[in-house]
Every structure is written in C-alpha cells, then in structure tokens.
Structure 1
Amino acid sequence: MNNLTFSVLTGGYMSINDSEECDRLVVKVVGVGGVGVLALESMIKAKIRGVDFIAVDTEAQALETSSAPIKIRLGVNTTKDGGSGSRPESDRADAEESRQEIGEALKGADVVIIVARMGGCTGTGAVQVIADAAKVSGALMTVGIVTLPFNHEGKIRMETAEEGVRALGKRVDSLIVIPNEGMAAVGSTEQNLLEVLTGDAILTEAVRGITDLLRPRFPAIDPGDIIRVLPSEYPITFGIGEASGHDRALKAAQKAMHPLSRGGVDIAQASDVLVNIAGSSDMTMADYNEVNKFICSKISDDTQIKICFTVDDRLEDKIKVTVYLSKSEPTATIRTENTNYDVPSYLL
C-alpha cells in the first residue's frame, strides 16, 4: 500500500475565491532570457492570478515589447550590442552587475518562481544569480522551472543545459525540468510552432500548477510541504489534465499522467508524488476516489504520495488534476514509442 497523505485545502469549506486567504503569500515570477520573457507574455494573457511578473534579459528590444510591469536589463554597462553572444558566463557576470536591482525587485516575495530555457546564454547564466538573490531577499521558497534544448540544437547546447541545471539545482528549493523534445513528441501535430519551440504553453501551465498549490492559504499545505515532497536534489516532472462530463475525474487524471508516460518517465520508479485535484463546490468524494485509484495504480507501493484538493468555482463542471513526480533513481533516457532521446539521466 502507498504511503498516502490526504490534505483537504478548504479550511472549513472556504474556496480559492476567498481573496483574503489568496493574497497572504507574495509570489513573484521571473522570466529570464528570450524564452523566459516570452513565457511571461503567455502567463499574463492567461491571467494567472496573484502573481507579480518580472522580465529579465540582456536584450533591450525583448524587454521593450514585454508586458511585465517590472523589467530588468542585464549588462547595461558591459553589453553594447544587446546580447552577449553564446557565453553563459558573460550573462552571469551581467546579472552580477545588476544584482542589487534584482534584489530590490524580489524584496518582499514569499515565493520566487524562476522561468528560463537552459542551454542558451541568459537563461543558463543569469538564473543562478537570480536564485541567490531570491534567497538573500528572504523568500520562503524558490522554484526553478526550466526547459531543455531540442536534439537538433546539438550536443554542446545540451551539455551547457546540463551544467546550468546542476548549478541551478544547488540554489533553488524545487526544480522542475521540462525536456522540450519529449513534450513535443507527446503533443499535437497541430500545435502552434512558436509555442512548441519556446515552450510557452507548458511553462505557463507549470507556473499555474505551482500557484494553484500555494493559493489556498490553509495549514494543510505550505511552501515547506512542497519543498519536502519535491526537493531540488531530484528534478521534477509534471503533468496537468482537465476534463468535464462523464468520468471527468478519471479523464483528468489520465490526461495528467499521459505526457509523463508517453514522454518516457518511469512512473513506477517515482520516489515522491504530489497531486492537486481542483474542482468546483460540486466536486464529490467519488471524484477524489477516481483520481486516487488511477494514480496509485501507476506508482509503486514504496512511493510517497501526497494528495490535496482545492475548491475553485471558476472551474464550473470541470475537474483539473496536477501531478508532480520526483525520482531519486532517474532513468537514462526519454523514451517514446518511436524514439529514444539522449537526455541526461539526472534530469528525469
């Protein structure tokens, strides 16, 4: 039998719409580099609530077109052409130059979520400085959410991404790593090309998933719980599913697990699983049981699993299931039905 913790995020039947409880944590999302800044645009359009957005880049043009209320250009005194070429160490130095400005922007944050693509310059180099600044600012929790390069981008870029992930993992409390190649393999062929290449949609859902976990301000779960279940020592993969109508809970759970299983993640080897079930006030115990039964059927008896649920009347007749999976003994590659992707084992 699985080691199961059941948390009810309703606190005497209060819902996610209770603004006093929703606003108790200050959450700041930092988009770093070209992909990170673009992802912020997707998040702003998606109207993720209760979040402050900060765009950070060396490119002046990218920041000028950003809708983020706070924008920080790195390397103003050292970068003359709006970019630093292909050297993450240069962007790390640029971020160090702007450390005070970054620290000021992060001041007062309880939770800092850093979003970037690894393998390039700014995303790989600057995130370490930003993570350090978040700790110094007094944040209770720092989360890294990063994507990896595609195979066609070459071995050097992947090796750069590996180094960046290792360095970032030492500086954040939880690290979610999204292999672009695996996510593209399980996505629809009709999906927007720019969304696939930048990872906008998946990064937006990853951030929304974390903020959904944090938003209900009840003792059942807090940043410390997330850190304990999803430590940065073991990078995290995740899936989100949403469904309505007949068997809505089961369908939502299946959709949440689908990209993990198709993306090559060995679910049975998970050391820890964190599940959030969200639904309106008509969500039933039967819905909970359907999700619990399905997910427990996919993991081993030794897996530590924590299941929470959130009342969110904005979902109306839909159920949304978010699954976070951490592995202490990762697999060597991402596998799909037709292809093995050479992704570092510690990233899975």
Structure 2
Amino acid sequence: MSKSKIQNKKSKVRTKVGIAGMTPKKPRQEILFQPRIGIIGIGGGGGSVVGEIAKIIHRKRLPHLNKIKFVVANVDYQAIKMAPKQAGTFYFGKEITRGLGCGMSPQLGEKSALQDKKSIEKLLKNCDFCIFISCLGGGTGSGATPVFAEVAKSLGILSLGIFTLPFSFEGSERGKIARNSLEKIKPNVNAFAIIPNQRIFKIIDQKTPIHKSLSAMNNVLVKILEGFIETLYAPGLINLDFSDFKAVLEKESQLTYLNSQEFSGVNRTEKAAEAVLNNPLMNYDISGVQGMLFNIVGSKDMKMSEVEGISKKIESYNPRAKIIFGVMQGNQHHGKIKITLIAVGCGAKEKPKLKKKRAKKTTLKPGEEKQEIEKQGSTAKETLKGPAGLKKEEVAQVAAVEAPAKKEAGPKTIKKKKRTEKIEIIKKTNIRRNALDLHKQAEEDEKKVLE
C-alpha cells in the first residue's frame, strides 16, 4: 500500500474520532413540554366510567394518547378483571377486602387505600395533571378518593375531580356518605365538578335502556376530555398550553364548571355559545366565576366577529374574572365551531345592590313604616281613580296595597260615630228641656185658672 493511501486513512480516522476528550456537536432540538395526564377512575362506578371513556377515545385515535394514562382503581378483583384493555388497572387493599368490594363502607375503602399509600404514590408520581373520577355514595369511591387526592397534593400534582352524587331513590344514607366524602376531598384538589345522577333524566327519555342512559352521561364527559386534549396538545393561532391550565387551577377547593360543544350551519356561533353555558348534567352555572379558560376551534372560514360574540357572552358572567382564551383553526372542523370551557370558583352569586335595598326595607322604624303605608295607600287610590279596564291581576295588586290604608281609615269612622252620638245627646237634652218648659207652662196655666 502506498504512503498516500495510508495517510488518507489516518486522516479519515482522525475526523471520525475528533480531538481527544471532545464529542462532535449535534444540532440543538427544542424540547416542547407536553404534560402527562392521569385519568383515574376510583371504585366501581368511577372505574366503569373511565373504562368506557378510554375505549371511546382510543377508538377515535386522538393525537398524543401516549401522554394520557387511563387507570381503573378498585379493591374488587372481579371489577379489575373486567376493565377494558385500553385502560390500565390498579388493584389495592387486597389484604383487607381479600378481593371483595367495600360493601358501602367508606371506612373500609379508606383503610384499603392507606395500606397501599406507597403504591398510590408510585402510580401518580409521573403525572403532571390528575383527573379523579368517582361515583360517591358507596364504599371504595367515597373512602379511597380522599386518600388519592391527598397523595396527589403532597406530590405537587395539579388535580381536578369529577364526582357524581347518588340518585334520590338510592336513599338518604348514600347521600350522607357522598356529602361527607366530598368534604374530605375538597381541601386536597385544585378544582372539582359535581354531577348529580338525577340530572341524567335531562338528557334521556323514559324509554332509554339503562346501559344507554349511563353511556349518555359518559359521552358528555368524553366530549369534555376531548376538548381538554385538543386544548393542551394542539397548536393554535392564539395558543393555550399547560401553563394556562395551571394559572386558572392554581387555587384549591374550587367548584368548577366543565363543558364542550360543537355546532355547524346557520347561527352556529349562537348555538355553540348557548349550549356550552348550559351543561344539562350540572345543577349550577358559571355565575360568580373567578377564573375562566376557553378554547374556540373552527374551520378556516371562522370570522373574528364570531370569536368576539362568543367571548362577550362568556365574559358577561363576570368581567372581573381571570379570563384566558385560545383560538384554533383546522380542517377537521370544516364548517363547525367548537367551544371548550372550564370555569372555576362558581356559585358566588353577588348582587350587592339588591341586598342593600332589602336591608333598608327590613330596618324601617315604626314611624317610617306608617309613612310608607300611607304612600302606598295614596298611590293605590290614584290607580283606582284612573281609567277603568284594569286587568284582574292589577286590581288584586291594588287591593293588596290598599288593605293597610283601610286600617288607618278606622279611627275616622269612630270619630264620626262619636260626633253622631253627641248630636243625639244634644237632641235628647233639647227634648227634655222642651218637656219641662211645657210642664211649667201647664202649671202656670192651672194657677191662672184657679185664680
């Protein structure tokens, strides 16, 4: 081999190895943080809800499913075996319940979760955002969910709870268990949404079979979770990401409103905005809301005026609230508009003006009350003097206002009676005086006659 060839080989080896102690530079790749979401169904009811949601969402082949973990958590081994393959399983409390359920004993559910607390920590530690779904009122869900929430809080994980309450026909004891469990859960979650099972009759009719009725409720939750996934992972014109979720959900124990709706055709904006603000499964709205995050998704023909109309309608519930919104366009929403809304801090209906007026009315002094009654009486008399042809309701209202005035009219009639009595007395005295005069006149006449 010639010297030139040997030198060429050596130079190639040098370029590959490079300078001793140094590695060749690789092009920098920007790493975008994508949150890992854990959707965990606790107990029999919560597990069945999450199992069905997992099947539907995997069937739709939504993007970024590798970042979402569906888990069915239960003490009942039979329920664990029945979980769908699209969801993982977490079997706990086997040494206490021995594979059976908790038999409507929240104490047993709590004890089972506490025994496997370290295992729960391992389950949750890789999550950035946990969504706990549980049907309160039983043993496992009501007893174990507070423990799961407490572990998530101790790990600094953002958490949202979606909890159902028992049907009215399930009895007062289940309702009491559900309320007590909810009070334990609240301090350990950032936000929670309540769905009374009784509200299911708002979305089904009397002929709907049981399995379809339960699926109807799950389909509403599927739409909401789809909206969350789209908002968190898909880029938009006005982009939303996990930091926006954290900004809205940063506090604790916040009553939360959730909904996602999509409409097409004429008046799609008005229909979508109206529907997203009226979730039939929740018995509360976003009145008094403290923070809102909503994402508007549409096709490329979506107009700025449509975005403005939707935003104004949502913002009108509390203009002073923390509002974060996003806008996204995509071909998969051709001719449609979709709104996903999460509102926290609901239920604080503040109406200071009305309260002040009511306070003034209740703190009137006795003298002021009489003056007010006299005013009402005078206004009622004026309305009666007005043109005829009043409606029955108006006449009744006038009569009701006039009633107190009649009470005041009482003393006047008494005075008249006293006057009439005086007149009668005077007449009687006059009559008596005339009789005496006549008697005297008669005696004088008799004397005259005798004389």
If the length of structure 1 is used for normalisation, what is the TM-score?
0.77
CA distance in 1, matches of 2:204, 2:344: 26
Displacement of 1:87 after TM fit? 0.9
> Relative to 1, partners in 2 of residues 1:310 and 1:172: Cα closer, same or farther, differing over 3 Å?
farther
Q: Is 1:173 the counterpart of 2:190 in the alignment?
A: yes
What do residues 116-159 of structure 1 show as CA deviations (whole Å, max 9, x unaligned)? 111111111111222233344453x1111111112222222122
> Relative to 1, partners in 2 of residues 1:225 and 1:24: Cα closer, same or farther, differing over 3 Å?
closer
CA distance in 2, matches of 1:93, 1:312: 49
Displacement of 1:83 after TM fit? 0.8
Aligned to 1:117: 135
Match of 2:263 among 237, 243, 247: 243
Partners of 2:285 and 2:347 within 8 A in 1: no
Aligned to 1:89: 107
Match of 2:79 among 62, 66, 87: 62
> Relative to 1, partners in 2 of residues 1:119 and 1:232: Cα closer, same or farther, differing over 3 Å?
farther
Aligned to 1:155: 172
Q: Which runs of 5+ in 1 are unaligned?
A: 1-19, 332-348
What do residues 208-239 of structure 1 show as CA deviations (whole Å, max 9, x unaligned)? 34333322478954445334434442311223
Map residues 256-295 of structure 1 onto 2, 5 A cutoff.
256-259=276-279, 264-295=283-314
Partners of 1:117 and 1:147 within 8 A in 2: yes
Displacement of 1:29 after TM fit? 0.9
Partners of 1:143 and 1:172 within 8 A in 2: yes
> Relative to 1, partners in 2 of residues 1:172 and 1:304: Cα closer, same or farther, differing over 3 Å?
same
CA distance in 1, matches of 2:154, 2:72: 19
Helix, strand or coil at the partner of 1:269: coil
Aligned to 2:55: 45
- Quick one: which amino acid aligns to residue 188 of structure 1? I
- Quick one: which amino acid aligns to residue 203 of structure 2? G
Helix, strand or coil at the partner of 1:62: helix
Displacement of 1:207 after TM fit? 3.0
Higher helix share: 2
> Relative to 1, partners in 2 of residues 1:27 and 1:312: Cα closer, same or farther, differing over 3 Å?
farther
Map residues 3-82 of structure 1 onto 2, 5 A cutoff.
24-47=34-57, 49=62, 50=65, 51-67=68-84, 68-80=86-98, 82=100
Runs of 4+, deviation exceeding 6 Å: none
Aligned to 2:16: none
CA distance in 2, matches of 1:313, 1:130: 40
What do residues 244-263 of structure 1 show as CA deviations (whole Å, max 9, x unaligned)? 12222221112212336x95
What do residues 307-332 of structure 1 show as CA deviations (whole Å, max 9, x unaligned)? 2233444333322112233345457x
> Relative to 1, partners in 2 of residues 1:162 and 1:313: Cα closer, same or farther, differing over 3 Å?
farther
Partners of 2:262 and 2:339 within 8 A in 1: yes
> Relative to 1, partners in 2 of residues 1:98 and 1:239: Cα closer, same or farther, differing over 3 Å?
same
CA distance in 1, matches of 2:159, 2:344: 17
Partners of 1:276 and 1:308 within 8 A in 2: yes
Q: Is 1:320 the counterpart of 2:330 in the alignment?
A: no
Aligned to 2:222: 204
Q: Which has the larger radius of gyration?
A: 2
> Relative to 1, partners in 2 of residues 1:244 and 1:170: Cα closer, same or farther, differing over 3 Å?
same
What do residues 289-318 of structure 1 show as CA deviations (whole Å, max 9, x unaligned)? 231233345x24444433223344433332
What do residues 75-114 of structure 1 show as CA deviations (whole Å, max 9, x unaligned)? 1111135111111121111112222222222232111111
CA distance in 2, matches of 1:33, 1:258: 29
Q: Which runs of 5+ in 2 are unaligned?
A: 1-30, 350-451
Partners of 1:249 and 1:290 within 8 A in 2: yes
Q: Percent identity?
A: 25
- Quick one: which amino acid aligns to residue 134 of structure 2? A
Displacement of 1:187 after TM fit? 1.2
Helix, strand or coil at the partner of 1:213: helix
- Quick one: which amino acid aligns to residue 35 of structure 2? L
Map residues 186-205 of structure 1 onto 2, 5 A cutoff.
186-189=202-205, 193-197=210-214, 199-205=217-223
Number of aligned residue pairs = 307
Partners of 2:272 and 2:338 within 8 A in 1: yes
CA distance in 1, matches of 2:214, 2:167: 8
Higher strand share: 1
**Larger relative contact order (C-alpha < 8 A, sep ≥ 6)?**
1
- Quick one: which amino acid aligns to residue 305 of structure 1? I
CA distance in 1, matches of 2:320, 2:212: 37
Helix, strand or coil at the partner of 1:47: helix
If the length of structure 2 is used for normalisation, what is the TM-score?
0.61
Aligned to 2:372: none
CA distance in 2, matches of 1:279, 1:192: 35
> Relative to 1, partners in 2 of residues 1:138 and 1:258: Cα closer, same or farther, differing over 3 Å?
closer
Partners of 1:32 and 1:116 within 8 A in 2: yes
- Quick one: which amino acid aligns to residue 283 of structure 1? M
